[in-house]
Amino acid sequence: MVENGPAMQQDEIVDAADFLAPFEQFQADGYPDPYPIFAELRRQRPIHTRDLLGDEFGFSSPMLHAGDRKVFTVLGYDAATKVMRDGVSFSNSIYGDSVGQVMGRNILMLDGPEHRDKRKLLQSAFTRRSMESWKAGVVRPIIENGYIDRLVGRHKADLMREFAVSFPVSVIHKILGLPADRQADFHRWAAELLFIEFDPMTGMAASQALGDHLLAVMNDRRGSLSDDVISILLRAEEDGVELTDEDIVGFLRVMLPAGAETTMRTTGTVLAALLRDRDQLEMVRDDRSLVPKAIEEALRWQTPVVVVFRLCTRPTEVDGVHIPAGTVVNVVLGSANRDETKFADPDLFDVKRDASAHLGFAFGPHLCLGMHLGRMEAEVAVNALLDRLPGLRLDPDLPAPEFRGLTFRGPTSVPVVWD
């Protein structure tokens, strides 16, 4: 594993906010607060036989309209878990229509035994031992010696733009063992993968460049395997099953938006939520055992990935609703996580709540592979900021954080000052 080493050098710090700015502008143009609409429609019924995201918010995706498929929308918690648990009736193959076009064949679009076998091999890179090593040797140095060190001498910053946007991609870059001199390119490609929704040519070009870079590193790494993630995946094998180069590149492409985006927005959300409520902030500052609870509550309260999609493969009934084969099912995780039948006072952010049953990392066979890494990064980040920036508080001269987005959701900025 990567050992704890000296403080990061300044040239290892990448400011990625400008790379991500076009995507942030694209998704922040609407959807300031979808939750009242979700709540009203969820109280009517947990499953609607129409495309509510398109009808109510003008949201569209290639997955919804390929072949003019009928679209159902799941808003309730129990219905959402039933759909996501049943990987036979509700297939992830629908992601081949969108994610697959950009990132190649990957774990996200697989089902059944193939998904199970590939997932088991990929999971070998995310062991408890790896997490402990990465926390000490990668995550803390990047966050504390890298991104926070350069803030300490100041008294003002936007923690979204100058911190949360960049450090998760730097962590992924480091645990993959990629060349340090290409880190800025890696950040740019990671951001541009998301452009596929509004700038397909840029998104496809980024995917191709990232794939070429990863393949070159993999080919070079085969001669001297180490303990980085790429090396672990290259030698992964069980019962004669191995990962192909396509499997590894596809997974690593997906890991960037799935891992870095979720971590970035969760970190921003927990910071914004605490800073907007001084009582809860002081509780967490005084009792750091509440930091993990605050992170789980952030994942519930402002779910970073608001909706996931499934394709119904056979006529199925969920909560008394008949769903025909061939139907696209929008599972609105953000709505399910505010279902009042599951969570009391769901619109309130409460660090003392037991939010462990939230669906912020999805549910069922496709539960997020990197969730433990994301949680650990957010925990290190929140603790480090509270330790290193005394009197941290929202900047009174700037607007309070706003939350935006339906593809990925989080605060657009977190302007702060400190003593």
Q: Read off the CATH number of the domain in which 338 is found.
A: 1.10.630.10
The whole-angstrom separation of Cα 212 and Cα 220 is: 12
Query: Does residue 59 lie within any of the structural domains?
Result: yes
Predicted TM-score of the model (pTM): 0.94
Mean pLDDT within 133-162: 95
Query: Does residue 231 lie within any of the structural domains?
Result: yes
Q: Categorize the per-residue pLDDT at 11 as very low, low, confident or very high, splitting at 50, 70 and 90.
A: very low
Mean pLDDT within 193-198: 86
Q: Categorize the per-residue pLDDT at 63 as very low, low, confident or very high, splitting at 50, 70 and 90.
A: low
The model's pLDDT over 206-254, given as tens digits with 9 standing for 90+, comes to: 999 999 999 999 999 998 999 999 999 999 999 888 999 999 999 999 9
Main-chain phi, psi angles of 110, to 5 degrees = -90, 155
pLDDT of 65: 59
Query: Does residue 4 lie within any of the structural domains?
Result: no
The residue segments making up the domain with residue 353 are 10-417
What does the mean pLDDT of the chain come to?
92
pLDDT of 64: 59
Mean pLDDT within 158-185: 96
What percent of the chain is modeled with pLDDT above 70? 95
Query: Does residue 99 lie within any of the structural domains?
Result: yes
pLDDT of 9: 41
pLDDT of 98: 79
Query: Does residue 1 lie within any of the structural domains?
Result: no
Helix axes 278-286, 371-388, angle to 10 degrees: 100
The model's pLDDT over 330-387, given as tens digits with 9 standing for 90+, comes to: 999 999 999 999 999 999 999 999 999 999 999 999 999 999 999 999 999 999 999 9
Q: How many CA atoms lie within 13 A of 412 on its CB side?
A: 21
Query: Does residue 378 lie within any of the structural domains?
Result: yes
What percent of the chain is modeled with pLDDT above 90? 82
Mean pLDDT within 267-280: 98
Query: Does residue 345 lie within any of the structural domains?
Result: yes
Nearest to 409 by CA among 309, 332, 303, 254: 303
Identify the weakest region by mean pLDDT among 32-36, 194-198, 336-340.
Answer: 194-198
Query: Does residue 2 lie within any of the structural domains?
Result: no
Mean pLDDT within 406-418: 94
Number of domains in the chain: 1
> Does the pLDDT at position 61 exceed 80?
no
The whole-angstrom separation of Cα 287 and Cα 284 is: 5
Identify the residue with better confidence: 60 or 313: 313
Identify the weakest region by mean pLDDT among 3-12, 93-102, 175-184, 299-308.
Answer: 3-12
| 3-10 contacts, C-beta under 8 A, 24 or more apart | 3/133, 3/137, 4/136, 4/137, 4/140, 4/141, 5/137, 5/141, 7/141, 7/145, 7/146, 7/149, 8/141, 8/142, 8/145, 8/146, 10/150
